[in-house]
Homo-oligomer: A and B are copies of this chain.
Amino acid sequence: MTKEAAKRRRRAFARERDLVRLLWKRGFACMRAPASGSKVKRTVYPDVVAIWRGKTLVFEVKTSEQKRTIYIPREQVEKIREFAKRAGGQAFIAVKIVGQGEPWRFIPIEKLEHTSGGNFKVSLDSLERALTIRDLEKIVGMTRGLEDFIGGGI
């Protein structure tokens, strides 16, 4: 692995840890996948799994320095789809635009667009319309306390 690749990899893991911490703080049981060997792609596990009272959310994490179309290899989508299917849950691409205070965005794999090469992509447009962490909470049926309604309403 080149120095640059090693650096990207460390950064990617740091982002996954951020997402795990965030989801844990909101009440989910949450786990990051183990790092695979440096030469082996992580082909079995999703990057992150979050569970709340029987509802499972499965994530492939993508990081970008800027808002742009994000491409996802077909195998990665198939991997999280299979995992989510067994778990009876839902699979998402989790996108973090770094260094701009941007929140996490989540795209259900059913909303991914196809590329001509048989892979998948998140267009700029669907990135703008992506789900937020609050949307995920609604999906699993979490209800927040009164302070959240007040905070949201005023």
Contacts and interface: CB of A to CB of B under 8 A. Distances in A.
A53 B51 CA distance: 12
* Interface SS of A by simple majority: mixed
A46 B30 CA distance: 10
Contacts of A87: 29, 51-54
Contact of A31 (B24, B45, B52): B45
B31 A49 contact: yes
Contacts of A84: 29
| Number of chain A interface residues as a range | 20 to 34
Interface string A13-41: 00000000000100111011111000000
A151 to B, nearest CB: 23
A10 interface: no
Interface of A: 24, 27-29, 31-35, 44-46, 49, 51-56, 58, 83-89
